Structure 1
């Protein structure tokens, strides 16, 4: 690259003017653009360069790209342990800048290769007749802004301090400087910039805090007429959006409108569930690169609540859909996951053994009704399956009833591999969802719910066990309410409490709710 951007001011830095030397800069690796630069104006007259925190996707892609450009391999393929892991081991200090090696880092590379087919990597099992050989789907460098977020190397204590600090932040700012663009200074802190310079939409709780700040600005600051007009207009729009949410009315979503327009006139699509909105052409089998995932625990659940006003599923939320889940849209066919490209069967398990209280009652009613008949009533199983589009209305209704209003789990359709929906015939009685890429070595269970009438038969235990098996080699984390008796089930499965988080659910529960706001943070170490 001929120039780099300062991570603080985004000004371009000429690569030829950077005189800083270190063990990893300048990098001898091909396609290695993963550095954070600070210009002299932002760093007391000196240019500073630091190695970016690389994710395992970035590391694996960089290793394969260098191997491809410097050798032919075996028919263009390279063995994951003998070639890729050896390259990473030889360049560990250059890639990770002093970070310690995890105990099972080779398994992480193997998992990265197998879970990114065919978006980034291709297997040579068919051509070479043996597994373990890989090559790039496209032999070109992987730019930093096209990859998943880098894993955090901060200690767990530092992460918890940042989380507590963000929760305890004073929503009322100090008196603003009336000079300059005051409105921009108020809004920009709520719009974190991504690697490509774009900004992310505000979340509902962020809009509420921004409304408080703008109102305080109008009361305490001496604004000129043009600034006052802009502030009043912003305040009016924020109040309107807040009122629409209270009434359950849809909000105007510019990204959604642009996506629908592009889908009508071209073969390109916009991924509304990623951290950024970008256009990309779908591949031949309908798969595409997975969306970026927010690695902050406090923002994971917000991703699902903020979509309530702008959901993109086209299935009506009718009484029939909430009651039986699918209606005429149900299909018992295999499908291909858009996240991993794997083909999945329609059902995970047919359970004929479990007998929850509601099921025993139904069987007693049917038996009593047919006691004078010689025909034995047919007994239906409890079905475990992956989430499909026709499940979304029923799943949303279930989660909104037992968690908080405004939940929309449409995003989980992007990674159905990490989901479980439980049905009796067509009635949705439970569900569980996991966010697979919170960090490079960690997955987060976001929602687990079983209807009270169907509890006590091991349904929740099986769902958690299935999600754990889908993320082998990764730690599994979750938050559970301090008043939730499911804590005993998680402890039996091996989860350990690491932290007690005060007011974790404060931003989600309505003000009138009497549910416990505090939560335990649990981790299952692998």
Structure 2
């Protein structure tokens, strides 16, 4: 597709002139007219990636089936990685580390998750395809990809060299760069890639002056751009370029001495003081023996860990202290640090009043999943319309107790919250599992994949939970637990939890075991689960001998 011709056209649907960023559109292969991505009848391109126009597109009027059709173009690895980085910078900037993404944790994981959308069906996946991602990033550096090794003193972090340019423009610039290099090589001269690329960018009429200034600023060797918001800002038509003069080079990374992650906690839940003793030995040259010097102690106040500094005094034979530079302590985190449960959050209830302690409250911060490295929302769903038997009973008791009070009004109910599993839920869930299922159950492993979980809360009371184990096989997930408290059942809580877990595992089969006497089988069948076979004595080693439930289980599967 010729970019210069496309930008001179107008959108077929809205009759508006085309631009860059979100306004960059698809060209119909039949009528050769442009259609903005935002004007598509289906709402977005397949996959919904930002800047993805690499399709053979037929508009609604020209399509033989009467709807818009998309056929994926052949995607080279350069084009694929450009699209992945551009989309993540626009939609998931919180995953980045100062605007840089890790080639394996972020880029390769994104490509693997969206493989069927990014590539054609005839594209074969090699066993060592992730090495191709790393090689492509290194091959096109620094022309199109910038490494973060100098900033983090660690390899593997990459970002786009020109985040204001869309993947389509960069692909065209690379094609022209290759053509110019070939011409120069024919004259037996050595081409300068960066200088050639600068000349090509300046010659393009469809790149605006503001984007040219911003792009050329990224070519400076000492520039360290903050790219978290560059893509989002470049999508706005009235946006002004960032202040390039204020960008400062990053300071070199200095490795500090590792300290223990957790301070010692006393019986009241308060952090104790941490005392670290260093024995300093001095050698006396005149006497030829080793004399022990005094111990130097470092004391930290556990209540103000964040703002304290360490002063280390080295003791010599003359007892004259030699001060060392002040070193700032790293933030102390609990073992589940990837859930934003810092020491301050662990002891956050100390300053809360009694009402908040009893009624509880949920977090309002996103949760970083260690499985998908995505930020999960604090709530899956919050409902005030669910009416259960238990809530009705509590209302009737309050009305009965206040019949003689004419001024009394029934207080409003709290909402029922559907959230992802969090560390503070584990003890209560384990207790429910040991009470209603069998002893010895520990669901702590679900914290490794919170994306596939659902915990239902009424204020601070856990009234239900459901967990899905992802990737038990290549194309299969397993539903391990789904539970609702007695008195809260038959109100749609389990139905929504099961629906949510099914949506988290789209494209994969879901399997489960259910007792032959368990009425939950009817709920599974409503969602399309089918019984494949019977497993005799499946619960024999789990359930007690005096239980009334059948120990035989149905093995059910939801085919996708």
- Fold equivalence (TM over 0.5): no
Q: Which has the higher helix share?
A: 1
TM-score for both structures, normalised by structure 2:
0.39
TM-score for both structures, normalised by structure 1:
0.42
Q: Select the structure with the greater relative contact order (CA < 8 A; seq sep ≥ 6).
A: 1
